Structures are given as structure tokens and as C-alpha cells.
């Protein structure tokens, strides 16, 4: 070619790198040719990793900016590259990594490719740090090229006159694949026309292929050119296979020697370890023998001492045995005298048997009386009104106590159910409730009065217990409590299991629990396994399965066997509940939490089946928006809370006036409680108040609402028969008649 001749000489290493006949390696940079034919042949010259270059003069050179590549990174150096030729700057940049080049839109025909390299990264070696192959049109053109081992660091290297043909698609691809490390290239030049080769006398075999600029040109035909390429390729592949075979043989010999040495070392280590073990065993046995000798001497001394003690103890026991025998003889004599002095012993045995019969009869009568007492007690509760109202006042918190506010609540007649509230100045208003709790009363006192109503669910009655009041007055504490001081929810379920255990011989119970909340007028399942964000999206609807009986399809209903399972469920529901903060309460409940306990009972004697429901409801706190000063999402929550509590007040008013229409469906809260606020259920309300004068308005509002609730008469409660069991019995009767 016109850009310079090859200086590979007779180096067999360089010969092995070239996989295509007619190509050559030059240990210097690009030299421009003055021939116009040579300039016209140059189609594309790319500065890999660099910018566009131009050189004016006798031989104009135009090098394009880096393009046509796919993948790889750019390397650059400011150090001078030796033997860089006419364009040393192209060797100061390179494309590196996993990359390839595709030159498109070339006219179909023969071309030759020149590749320009320089090692600008591993300037201190060693050899073998960067070895790679070059494929042109998917055929290997250069094999295992190591630039550093040929010319060293910061020196130019060319692989020239690689023949290639472009097909109808007009694409020439140059692909670089690393053997060790990442491949690099500094420039690619594509020239039109195949390289011209010749045969001249030289070297080992008397014939070599050289460029036509070096010797008198003798052009080869296409067939000769192809044959020469195949000959070179076959020769180099044969040499490569021989070298690989020799390398593999040496590797096998090294591996066998290494394995033999490793085995010998392992055997030696094993023997050393055994010797260490034997030495340690001998040393340990010697110490053990010394300790055993000392122990035997101590045992012998102790044995002699104990023997003397046992001899003395045996003598003492023999003396005591004689005394006991003497006492036994005396007692036997006295017993015979006593037996002879009691006349009519057989008559006494008959009398005892008669008493046993009377005991069994009294036991049966006691059970009957207990059943009558239970009915009378339920009638007593109904005579007081099925909605019972208990008032509980929380103590002053630390912030209130530090500011020393005036207390507006008086508990002088609290034992009689009277609560005094100082309205304005000296005016005092008296409120009457079924029970009033002072701040000193604890959780046990509260539950003691609530437990008879709660346990009515085991007798087949629907029961509803709910806490109402201003936010921050202790509703959640009354209903839930803490792990050390548990509230009504846990204590009620604990008592249900205790009573169920006492009655298990006559009545079997199945108890299941579900936990819901009404948040922004949406029913959410707090026991669902989905995350909170998804629970907000899932909408649960209330369905009516029979007259006045509601059900929520899809809700998780957990069957419980003991109080530990109950506590875990209550904790899960409490942790999933929506809470927030406002000016009144830093940890305010933002929803109505509703625990539904379903009790299925079957009397093993009479066969009677009941299905009753217990609602334990912690209502969200009533709020005055002007006082809490909430905005955004908290404002929406407060409006929803006040709306549902207003709907609850409408239901209470309708029940109090015995209206023909009760607006249960005005709120999700009242709709869920429809079967427990109606005329066939038992209802208990806790009204929670604050003693602080700052909360007087909210306290009076809560007490007025509780007074309205206490005036509601629902009528006698009814047992809830299990319609499922009734249907099963009817089906069995029909089958028997059919058979």
C-alpha cells in the first residue's frame, strides 16, 4: 500500500498474530502518501475516541470525529506518543471496553482496513495486561494482539492492509473482543480496493508476501491471493494448535506435581495434628490421674466421717421406733375403747347415704334456681332500660395540672349516680346516670359494673358497649387500656372464655372476633393482611342478610380459642387504626374502632342454638373545628367524624321519641350497629368527660347527649336463635320423613 511498508521482518510472533494473508504489522504511526491515488482510495478515517483532525499541505489528510461505534468508553492521554508519524494526536485517544464499529452505506466491492493502536493506560506494563482479538465481517483478522509486548507504552502500532469485502448491504463491521483485559483502538481507516500482494524471495521458506511499495510489484490473481491466504491461515492455525497442546501438557504436569505436593502436605499436617492430639491426651490424662487421686483421698475421709454419723443416726432411729411402737399400742387400745363406746354405727352410715341423696337433689334444685336467677337478673336490667349510661371522668394531665385550672366537676354524690357540673360562676347543674366514676376509680371498678351486660352475649342476646366523648378524654384507655392495665375489650373477652369454660359440660361455645374501623365514611378491615395503602382502596359494603341483621362480606373473622389469641388480635387491630394529632390531642383516634365478637352457643341438654353478637366500639372524639384548628386531610377526617356522631344522635333521638323511621343508614357507623341499637338488644354507653374548665363546653355537650341516650327505652331484649342450626334441623326432619 502507499502509506508505508511493513517492518515485521522475520519475527514469528508477529506472523502468528496475522490471520489474513496480505496483512502486515508496522511498528510506527501513520505516514501520509504524496500519491493522489492513495488519497482517493481513502474512504473513511475515524479518530477513535477523539475529535476531527485536518492537515493541509502536499498531502491533505482529513480524519473524522469518532462515530460508527457501538458501546465502549473513551481514553485520552496528554503524554507524547513516540513514532506517531504525521498524525501523532490520533494515538493520544482511544475507544476501550466492550465495543464494535459498523461502517454503513459503502458501495459493494473490495476494501482494505488499517487499524491504529497505542498503549496509553498500562504505561508500566507488564506484558499480557491487555490481549484481544479483532474480527472483521465476523472473521478473525488479528489474534491475541498485545500492543505493549510489541512496541511498549506510548508508541504507535499499525495493522495494515486487512482485506475485506462489502456486500449488497454496504456494511463493514469491525468487532474487538478481549482475551485478557479490555480491547482498545486509536484509529480505523477504510480504503477502497483490495491490497495488492506479491511473491519475492526471502526468509525461511524462500517466499513472503510484501507491500508493493517495498519491492517490484508482481500482482497476484484473485485465485492465487485466496490460495495464499488459506495457506497462511492453515500454517498459523497449525502452529497455534501445537503451542496450545504443549501448553496444556505443561499445565497437566504442573497440576499433577501440585496435587502430589498438596497431598504430601495434607498427610504431614494430619500426622502433626495426631501427634498434638496424643500429646494433649497424655497431658490431660496425667492431670486427671492427679485429680482422681486427690478425690479418692477426700472420699475415703468423708466416708469414714459419714459412717460414724450413720451409726449414730441408726441408733437414734431404733430408739424412736421403740417409742412409736409403744405409742401405737396405746392408740390401738384407745381406738378399740372408742369404737365400743359408739352405738348404732350402721345407723350412722345409712344416715350419711341419705344425706348424699339429699345433696344430689339440692344440687339439681340449685341449678334450676340459678337458671331462674339468671332470667330475673336479665329482667332487672331490662326494667332499668336496655341502654345504660356510665359516666367516667379522666384526671387532669400534666400540662393542665401545671397551669392549675379550675375543676368544674363535683363527685359529692357519685355513688348515687349524680354528677355536679359548675356552669358559670356558682351555678351547678346535676346530671343523673346509672354509674359515675371519679378519676380515682380504676379499670377493675369500671369493668365490674359493665361485665353483667357484656356476658349477656353468652345467653344469646345482642350487646353493644360504646365509649363516647370529646377527643382526649380517655375513650381508648377505657376500651383498650394497656398491657399492664387492660380495658373493657380484653377483660370482657377474658370473662367470656372463663364462663364458657365453667359451662362447657352443658353448653358448647364457638367465639370469633373481627376488627373494623369507620374512617371517612368507609368501612375498613383492620385484620386484613394487605398494607394500609391498599386497605384504603378496598371498599367493604354492608349487606342486610335478614330483617334488622347486617353483615359485611369479605371481612376477616378470626376464630379464637383463648385470651392470648384475643390479645394478639386486639393489638393487630389497634396498631392498624388511623391516628393523628391536633391542638387538643397529640395522639387522636381519627376513626371509629369496632370490635365485633360473634358467639355461637349450643345447649347440649336441650339442643337450643343461639347466635349472638357483641359490639365493643371506641368512637372517635367529637371535635369543634374552631378549637382543634385542623386543616387539609385532618379537616376532612374531623368533618366525617362529626357527621357520623351527628347521625348517631339522630338515631338516639328517633329511638327516644319512638319514631316509626329510625335513620340507621345515614352513616356507616349507625348502619353497622343497627342490630345492636334496636329493640331486641342490650346497650351500654360510657360517656367520657374532662374535668378542666377549658373543656367545659365539650363536657356539657357530651353530658347532654348521654342524658338523651339514657332516656331511650328499647323494650325487652330477645334471644337470637341461630337460623343456620334451625335450617339444618328442618332438613334432617324432611329427610327422615322422606325415608
pLDDT tens-digit map of 305-331:
998 999 999 999 999 999 998 888 888
For β-strands 109-118 and 156-166, DSSP reports them as: antiparallel
Reference 191, options 46, 43, 47, 67; nearest CA is: 43
Percent of all residues in the chain with a pLDDT value above 70, rounded to a whole number: 81
pLDDT at 13 over 70: no
Cα(256)–Cα(259) distance, integer angstroms: 5
Percent of all residues in the chain with a pLDDT value above 90, rounded to a whole number: 30
Question: Phi then psi for 222, rounded to 5 degrees?
Answer: -65, -40
| Mean pLDDT in residue range 209-236 | 62
Highest mean pLDDT among 10-19, 530-539, 667-676: 667-676
> What pLDDT is attached to residue 566?
85
Sequence-distant (6+) residues with CB within 8 A of 68 are 44, 46, 101, 102, 103, 104
Cα(706)–Cα(699) distance, integer angstroms: 11
Q: Report the binding-site residues.
A: 469-476
Distances (CA, A) of 239 to 19, 233, 245, 381, 417: 12, 10, 10, 109, 112
> What pLDDT is attached to residue 381?
55
pLDDT digits (tens, 9 = 90+) for 242-287: 888 888 888 888 888 899 899 999 999 999 999 999 999 999 998 9
pLDDT at 216 over 90: no
> What pLDDT is attached to residue 392?
94
> What pLDDT is attached to residue 212?
44
Q: Is 309 exposed, middle or buried (0-12, 13-18, 19+ CB in 10 A)?
A: exposed
Reference 89, options 186, 5, 4, 2; nearest CA is: 186
Question: Phi then psi for 292, rounded to 5 degrees?
Answer: -65, -35
Reference 591, options 618, 630, 557; nearest CA is: 618
> What pLDDT is attached to residue 3?
41
Q: What single-letter DSSP state applies at residue 385?
A: -
| Torsion 520-522-527-530 (CA) sign | negative
Reference 439, options 424, 458, 459, 419; nearest CA is: 419
pLDDT-based confidence at 145, cuts 50/70/90?
very high
Q: How far is CA 493 from the centre of its chain?
A: 31
20 or 486: which leads in pLDDT: 486
Which region among 72-81, 163-172, 622-631, 723-732 has the lowest average model confidence (pLDDT)? 723-732
Question: 3-state class of 373 per DSSP?
Answer: helix
* Upper half-sphere CA count for residue 442 (Cβ side, 13 Å): 5
Output the average pLDDT for the chain.
82
pLDDT at 4 over 50: no
Highest mean pLDDT among 31-45, 125-139, 204-218: 125-139
- Grid cell listed for 442: 380504676
206 or 681: which leads in pLDDT: 681
| Mean pLDDT in residue range 47-72 | 84
- Grid cell listed for 551: 353483615
pLDDT-based confidence at 574, cuts 50/70/90?
confident
> What pLDDT is attached to residue 31?
87
- Grid cell listed for 532: 394500609
Cα(672)–Cα(681) distance, integer angstroms: 14
The CB density around residue 170, as the number of other CB atoms within 10 Å, is 13
Reference 134, options 90, 170, 99, 169; nearest CA is: 99
> What pLDDT is attached to residue 2?
37
The two counts, helices (H) then strands (E), for the chain are 17, 31
Strands (E), 565-646: 579-580, 588-589, 592-603, 609-618
> What pLDDT is attached to residue 204?
41
Given its phi and psi angles, is residue 404 left (phi above 0), alpha (psi -120 to 50 degrees) or beta?
left
pLDDT digits (tens, 9 = 90+) for 597-618: 999 999 888 888 888 889 999 9
Highest mean pLDDT among 66-70, 373-377, 578-582: 66-70
Task: Find out whether 479 and 688 touch, Cβ atoms under 8 Å.
Answer: no
61 or 316: which leads in pLDDT: 316
SS3 of 326-347: the string is HHHHHHHHHHHHHHHHCCCHHH
Q: Report the binding-site residues for ATP.
A: 469-476
pLDDT-based confidence at 128, cuts 50/70/90?
confident
Question: Phi then psi for 299, rounded to 5 degrees?
Answer: -65, -40
> What pLDDT is attached to residue 580?
54
Question: Phi then psi for 517, rounded to 5 degrees?
Answer: -140, 145
SS3 of 536-557: the string is HHCCECCEEEECCEEECCCCCC
Cα(209)–Cα(652) distance, integer angstroms: 111
pLDDT digits (tens, 9 = 90+) for 419-447: 999 887 678 899 999 899 999 999 999 99
- Report the first-to-last Cα separation within the chain, whole angstroms: 111
Task: Find out whether 703 and 391 touch, Cβ atoms under 8 Å.
Answer: yes
> What pLDDT is attached to residue 513?
92
| Mean pLDDT in residue range 474-502 | 90
Reference 411, options 395, 399, 400; nearest CA is: 395
Task: Find out whether 51 and 90 touch, Cβ atoms under 8 Å.
Answer: no
pLDDT digits (tens, 9 = 90+) for 521-549: 888 888 886 565 555 556 788 887 766 67
Amino acid at each position: 500500500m502507499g502509506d508505508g511498508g511493513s517492518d515485521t521482518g522475520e519475527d514469528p510472533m508477529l506472523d502468528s498474530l496475522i490471520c489474513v494473508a496480505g496483512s502486515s504489522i508496522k511498528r510506527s504511526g501513520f505516514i501520509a502518501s504524496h500519491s493522489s491515488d492513495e488519497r482517493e482510495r481513502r474512504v473513511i478515517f475515524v479518530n477513535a475516541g477523539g475529535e476531527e483532525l485536518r492537515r493541509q499541505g502536499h498531502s491533505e489528510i482529513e480524519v473524522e470525529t469518532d462515530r460508527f461505534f457501538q458501546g465502549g468508553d473513551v481514553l485520552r492521554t496528554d503524554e507524547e506518543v513516540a513514532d506517531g508519524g504525521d498524525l501523532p494526536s490520533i494515538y493520544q485517544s482511544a475507544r476501550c471496553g466492550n465495543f464494535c464499529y459498523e461502517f454503513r452505506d459503502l458501495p459493494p466491492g473490495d476494501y482494505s482496513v488499517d487499524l491504529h493502536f497505542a498503549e496509553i493506560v498500562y504505561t508500566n506494563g507488564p506484558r499480557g495486561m491487555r490481549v484481544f482479538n479483532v474480527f472483521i465481517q465476523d472473521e478473525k483478522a488479528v489474534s491475541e494482539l498485545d500492543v505493549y509486548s510489541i512496541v511498549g507504552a506510548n508508541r504507535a502500532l499499525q495493522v495494515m492492509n486487512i482485506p475485506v469485502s462489502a456486500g449488497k448491504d454496504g456494511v463493514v463491521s469491525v468487532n474487538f473482543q478481549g482475551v485478557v483485559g479490555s480491547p482498545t483502538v486509536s484509529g480505523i481507516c477504510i480504503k477502497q480496493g483490495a491490497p495488492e500482494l506479491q511473491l519475492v524471495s526471502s526468509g525461511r521458506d524462500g517466499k513472503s508476501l510484501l507491500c508493493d511499495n517495498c519491492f517490484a510489484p508482481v500482482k497476484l490473481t484473485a485465485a492465487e491471493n485466496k490460495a495464499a491466504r488459506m495457506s497462511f491461515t492453515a500454517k498459523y492455525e497449525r502452529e497455534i494448535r501445537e503451542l496450545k497442546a504443549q501448553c496444556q501438557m505443561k499445565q497437566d504436569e504442573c497440576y499433577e506435581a501440585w496435587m502430589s505436593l498438596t497431598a504430601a502436605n495434607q498427610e504431614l499436617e494430619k500426622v502433626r495434628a495426631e501427634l498434638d492430639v496424643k500429646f494433649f491426651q497424655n497431658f490431660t490424662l496425667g492431670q486427671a490421674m492427679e485429680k482422681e487421686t486427690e478425690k479418692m483421698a477426700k472420699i475415703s475421709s468423708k466416708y469414714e466421717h459419714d459412717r460414724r454419723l450413720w451409726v449414730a443416726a441408726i441408733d437414734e432411729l431404733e430408739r424412736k421406733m421403740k417409742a412409736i411402737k409403744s405409742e401405737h399400742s396405746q392408740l390401738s387400745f384407745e381406738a378399740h375403747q372408742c369404737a365400743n363406746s359408739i352405738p348404732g354405727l350402721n345407723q350412722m352410715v345409712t344416715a350419711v347415704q341419705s344425706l348424699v341423696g339429699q345433696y344430689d337433689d339440692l344440687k339439681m334444685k340449685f341449678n334450676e334456681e340459678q337458671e331462674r336467677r339468671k332470667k330475673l337478673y336479665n329482667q332487672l336490667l331490662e326494667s332499668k332500660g336496655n341502654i345504660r349510661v356510665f359516666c367516667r371522668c379522666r384526671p387532669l394531665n400534666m400540662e393542665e395540672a401545671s397551669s392549675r385550672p379550675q375543676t368544674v366537676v363535683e363527685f359529692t354524690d357519685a355513688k348515687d349516680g349524680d354528677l355536679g357540673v359548675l356552669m358559670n360562676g356558682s351555678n351547678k347543674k346535676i346530671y343523673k346516670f346509672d354509674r359515675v366514676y371519679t378519676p380515682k376509680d380504676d379499670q377493675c371498678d369500671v369493668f365490674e359494673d359493665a361485665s353483667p351486660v357484656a356476658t349477656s352475649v353468652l345467653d344469646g342476646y345482642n350487646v353493644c358497649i360504646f365509649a363516647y366523648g370529646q377527643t382526649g378524654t380517655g375513650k381508648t384507655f377505657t376500651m383498650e387500656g394497656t398491657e399492664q392495665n387492660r380495658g373493657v375489650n380484653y377483660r370482657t373477652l377474658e370473662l367470656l372464655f372463663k364462663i364458657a369454660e365453667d359451662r362447657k359440660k352443658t353448653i358448647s361455645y364457638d367465639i370469633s372476633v373481627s376488627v373494623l374501623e369507620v374512617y371517612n365514611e368507609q368501612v375498613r378491615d383492620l385484620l386484613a393482611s394487605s398494607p394500609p395503602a391498599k386497605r384504603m382502596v378496598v371498599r367493604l359494603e354492608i349487606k342486610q342478610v335478614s330483617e334488622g341483621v347486617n353483615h359485611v362480606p369479605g371481612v376477616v373473622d378470626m376464630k379464637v380459642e383463648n385470651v392470648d389469641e384475643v390479645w394478639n388480635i386486639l393489638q393487630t387491630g389497634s396498631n392498624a387504626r388511623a391516628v393523628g394529632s391536633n391542638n387538643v390531642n397529640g395522639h387522636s383516634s381519627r376513626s371509629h374502632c369496632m370490635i365485633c365478637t360473634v358467639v355461637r352457643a349450643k345447649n347440649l341438654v336441650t339442643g337450643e342454638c343461639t347466635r349472638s353478637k357483641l359490639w365493643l366500639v371506641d368512637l372517635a372524639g367529637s371535635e369543634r373545628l374552631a378549637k382543634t384548628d385542623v386543616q387539609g386531610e385532618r379537616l376532612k377526617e374531623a368533618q366525617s367524624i362529626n357527621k357520623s356522631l351527628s347521625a348517631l344522635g339522630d338515631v338516639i333521638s328517633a329511638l327516644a321519641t319512638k319514631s316509626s323511621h329510625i335513620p340507621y343508614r345515614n352513616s356507616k357507623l349507625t348502619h353497622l350497629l343497627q342490630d345492636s341499637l334496636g329493640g331486641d338488644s342490650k346497650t351500654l354507653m360510657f360517656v367520657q368527660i374532662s374535668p378542666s374548665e377549658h373543656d367545659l363546653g365539650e363536657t356539657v355537650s357530651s353530658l347532654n347527649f348521654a342524658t338523651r341516650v339514657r332516656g331511650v327505652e328499647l323494650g325487652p331484649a330477645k334471644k337470637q336463635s341461630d337460623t343456620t342450626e334451625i335450617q339444618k334441623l328442618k332438613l334432617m326432619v324432611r329427610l327422615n320423613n322422606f325415608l
